[in-house]
């Protein structure tokens, strides 16, 4: 059985279309858990109307107080809901009819290779669309120059390649997500890091979702291949610096929660990485080089070395 976790907040314009896309999946062996983060529009009523029509399939709850963003909502749900497989779902996208089937197929393939007791995570590509579902870019992976094969433990520390709304993970990984991290930059990045250190990550290059861009996205999709984007990123010092600085407490959270499960090599890498902020610039560069903490792409690597 599959549990689908949906975090909602003021999602009235698109929520029904998203839930309909779940109910049209080629595989229906799932339950949908919706947790609302104190919406001020009709989101909860829409969700409850669907739950009334599908009482054995859709379950709705509400946070006691607004958590501040979707990350906290998802982290809470991931710690609470366990199943053979778990998928994450945003409120404003549209799942293609074969999304569950395609992702589960890759998961089964990985289970054959690594066994079901191995913590496993699978994610896919996305098609970027506007608010009316007109295609902006057929491949998020290509538009953002993502290299999904970069899943080594040093690589995932500095760059998140897994989009949360495409993720499926198995029970072995779910069972590790009991204690919430003291800090994570975003929930999907945290999932990817835990999976990389304690299990395996797989991907599907095929898009399985229409990733809607409407101006109110928590995290949007930008075409990183354009010169304009690269220049703006290099000029946006504070954003890059904040993003880099967030990687250290995130790595420390992993070490705090899972030290007893990590190898000595993994612990050594994490401790070296966490110590970077206390080093001078030259020592930082040396540590990055020694641990092969390289971004994927020339412009990303230059920005990382400039602002680390």
Q: Sign of the CA dihedral 84, 85, 90, 96?
A: negative
Distance from C-alpha of 60 to C-alpha of 32, rounded to nearest angstrom: 8
Q: Residues of the chain with pLDDT > 90: what percent?
A: 77
Of the spans 63-72, 119-128, 225-234, 238-247, which averages the highest pLDDT? 119-128
Cβ–Cβ < 8 Å for 51, 58? yes
Cβ–Cβ < 8 Å for 95, 20? no
Look at residue 221 in the predicted model and tell me its pLDDT.
54
Look at residue 241 in the predicted model and tell me its pLDDT.
81
Q: For Cα atoms 149, 209, 115, give the angle at the middle one, nearest 5 degrees.
A: 45
230-276 per-position pLDDT tens digit: 455 555 667 778 888 999 999 999 999 999 999 999 999 999 999 99
- Overall average pLDDT of the 83-90 stretch: 97
Structural domains of the chain sorted by starting position, each given as residue range(s) with its CATH number in brackets: 2-212 (3.90.550.10), 227-307 (no CATH)
Look at residue 59 in the predicted model and tell me its pLDDT.
98
Helices 187-198, 237-258: axis angle to 10 degrees equals: 50
Look at residue 277 in the predicted model and tell me its pLDDT.
93
On average, the pLDDT of the chain sits at 91
281 to each of 235, 270, 307, how far by Cα in Å?
Answer: 20, 19, 10
What's the whole-model pTM score? 0.90
Look at residue 127 in the predicted model and tell me its pLDDT.
97
Look at residue 145 in the predicted model and tell me its pLDDT.
85
Tokens for 58, please give them: 């859709």
Q: For Cα atoms 61, 14, 18, give the angle at the middle one, nearest 5 degrees.
A: 70
64-73, 131-140, 195-204, 215-224: least confident range: 215-224
17-36 per-position pLDDT tens digit: 999 999 999 999 999 999 99
Q: How many CB atoms lie within 10 A of CB 125?
A: 22
- Overall average pLDDT of the 74-82 stretch: 95
């Amino acid at each position: 059985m599959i549990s689908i976790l949906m975090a909602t907040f003021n999602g009235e314009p698109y929520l029904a279309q998203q839930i309909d896309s779940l109910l049209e999946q080629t595989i229906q062996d799932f339950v949908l858990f919706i947790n609302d983060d104190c919406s001020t529009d009709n989101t909860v009523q829409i969700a409850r109307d669907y739950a009334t029509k599908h009482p054995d399939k859709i379950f709705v709850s509400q946070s006691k107080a607004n958590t501040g963003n979707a990350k906290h909502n998802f982290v809470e749900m991931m710690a609470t809901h366990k199943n053979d497989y778990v998928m994450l779902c945003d409120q404003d996208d549209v799942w293609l009819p074969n999304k569950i089937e395609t992702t589960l197929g890759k998961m089964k393939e990985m289970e054959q290779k690594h066994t079901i007791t191995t913590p496993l995570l699978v994610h896919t590509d996305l098609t970027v669309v506007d608010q009316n579902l007109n295609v902006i870019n057929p491949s998020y992976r290509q538009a953002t120059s993502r290299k999904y094969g970069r899943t080594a433990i040093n690589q995932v520390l500095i760059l998140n390649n897994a989009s949360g709304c495409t993720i499926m993970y198995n029970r072995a990984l779910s069972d590790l997500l009991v204690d919430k991290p003291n800090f994570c930059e975003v929930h999907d990045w945290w999932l990817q890091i835990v999976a990389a250190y304690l299990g395996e990550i797989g991907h599907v290059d095929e898009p399985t979702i229409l990733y809607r861009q409407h101006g109110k996205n928590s995290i949007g999709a930008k075409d990183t291949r354009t010169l304009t984007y690269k220049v703006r990123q290099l000029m946006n010092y504070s954003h890059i610096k904040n993003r880099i600085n967030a990687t250290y407490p995130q790595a420390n959270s992993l070490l705090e929660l899972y030290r007893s499960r990590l190898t000595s090599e993994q612990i050594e890498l994490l401790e070296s990485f966490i110590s970077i902020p206390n080093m001078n610039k030259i020592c930082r560069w040396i540590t990055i080089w020694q641990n092969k903490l390289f971004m994927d792409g020339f412009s990303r690597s230059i920005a990382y070395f400039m602002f680390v």
